[in-house]
Structure 1
Amino acid sequence: MTNDKGQFQFSNLKPGKYYLLTTMALAVQGSTTTDLGTSFEGVNGRPTLTTYYKNEKFTSMFDDVLEKFVEIKAPGQTVKVTLSPKGFFKGRAGIFGCIQ
């Protein structure tokens, strides 16, 4: 069970090495402006250059695996672990590394 910050805990684990694995789904929404083209016309006897744009909305869906090895060396030891998307924090492919 997690708290309002997404934090959770495992209690009463025996000393040893543990592998933590979870998935994270993310929907990124935004908009982009696309240049459709330019026209050159004469308006009131003066040359006029007009560029036409199109505004587009998009949604991109990403799934990433968050994983980490953790070692508990002594009974009752507390280990704080943060699972982060790889692409955003380490420059490798991951959900944030895929956004263009």
Structure 2
Amino acid sequence: MSKTMNNQDFEQQLQAHATELAKGIKSEADLNTLTQKLVKMTVEAALSAELEEHLGYSKHDSGNSRNGSFRFLLPTLLPDREIFCKLATCLVPT
């Protein structure tokens, strides 16, 4: 969360996004798909931010220095998923 955004603003924005996304949910499968995509996007964003903080530069600032990939198991409230990460982008197998 941004240092300038307070918790109430954050929750209001999150609620607005959740309300909008909920309009497209028609079945349990839709809810599961949305949940998986939100988890994937959140993990990718967190890993990217962590990597930028650790390296001291963003993804496209330093040429070809971020090559490589790895796999890890992400324990969550959902069934544990193996995630494949390459160049700060993670793929969750379905």
Q: 1 or 2 for the larger relative contact order (CA 8 Å, sep ≥6)? A: 1
Higher strand share: 1
TM-score bracket, shorter-length normalisation: under 0.3
Higher helix share: 2
User: TM-score, normalised to structure 2's length?
Assistant: 0.27
* Higher-Rg member (1/2): 1
User: TM-score, normalised to structure 1's length?
Assistant: 0.26
